[in-house]
Amino acid sequence: MKRLAFSLVALTLANSAFAQGTVMSCGREVVFDAPPEAAVSNDVNLTEMMLVLGLRDRMVGYTGISGWKTLDEEMRSGVAELPELSAKYPTKEVLIGADADFYFAGWNYGMKVGGEVTPETLAPFGIKVYELTESCIHVGDKPKVSMEDMYGDLLNLGKIFSVEERARDLVAGYRQDLEEIRTSLTTGGEPLKVFVYDSGEDKPFTAGRYAMPTALIEAAGGVNILDDFEKSWAVIDWETVVDKNPDVVVIVNYGNVTAEQKRDFMKENPALAGIDAVRNDRFVTLEYVEATPGPRNIQAVRKLAQSFWGE
């Protein structure tokens, strides 16, 4: 009888753990009956989410960093013991070959709509996928981007890997830090108009309504001039930038073209000479890992706030 009672208790606990391992990912319900033990993350910001939660020992590698970006000292030390399985987006064979049981990626962050690596194509191989919330706009509707997107990803990862308390404490700390930044701001009467310059010369690649910089800019007391652009990261034309006349340009730094080169391009282009941000030389640089959803978003808000309004 005691053995039966113990079995029933064990079954109840197992069912409870099973229920707690259920998360929503871009509208999909994903169930985890145990925390993953062979995870792979794509891109520098998603990998940092894993590391900040202390999950390095649950990872078999990462992908999609060196093909586009360089690692700073903090990031290099974080992944020192892990192999980069693919310099850019991984193939299905790469993930299967690593014996992965979990892939943390996003749409245009390691997966492409209709591509060979998707939640559906990986499922037959026992690889479950959690999608970066910011990227969900590529596969369905979602609200405008907010800091809650990043917080939610950390909390869901905490649930998936059974480190919920660590995730809650981390998010609570981020919320407190952000509130301190907001309450310390002395802003003007109107929010500063901000343009995000990621890349491109013929046409700029920028952040729209659903891309993380929109939330970062708002938290720092500004407004993205493309707040009404119903896209995440996308291409527009320079005429739109001129018409909207931003007060500040935020440059995203990564890749072969440096932030200084992007700034010089805008300052030396006669068509952009009349923009207030260019005339007043008001540029601020965010590293890629700061501008995309991840643990460095709070320091990005602090950097923007100081640039927008001074110390």
Beta pairing, strands 84-86 & 102-107: unpaired
Q: Are 91 and 111 in contact (CB under 8 A)?
A: no
d(CA 54, CA 170): 11
pTM assigned to the model: 0.91
> What is the predicted pLDDT for the residue at 193?
98
Cβ count near 111 (within 10 Å)? 26
Q: Are 285 and 253 in contact (CB under 8 A)?
A: yes
> What is the predicted pLDDT for the residue at 311?
55
Give residues with Cβ within 8 angstroms of 37, minimum separation 6.
58, 101
> What is the predicted pLDDT for the residue at 77?
86
> What is the predicted pLDDT for the residue at 17?
43
Domains of the chain from N-terminus onward: 2-173 (3.40.50.1980), 188-309 (3.40.50.1980)
Taking every pair of C-alpha atoms in the chain, what is the biggest distance, in angstroms?
A: 86
Number of continuous H segments (helices) and E segments (strands) in the chain: 13, 14
Give residues with Cβ within 8 angstroms of 138, minimum separation 6.
107, 108, 113, 232
Number of residues assigned to the chain: 311
> What is the predicted pLDDT for the residue at 21?
81
> What is the predicted pLDDT for the residue at 302?
97
d(CA 305, CA 217): 8
Average pLDDT, consecutive stretches of 10 residues, N- to C-terminus, the chain (311 residues): 40 45 95 97 96 96 91 85 96 98 98 97 98 98 97 98 98 97 86 97 98 98 96 97 98 95 98 97 97 97 94 55
Q: Are 205 and 233 in contact (CB under 8 A)?
A: yes
> What is the predicted pLDDT for the residue at 4?
39
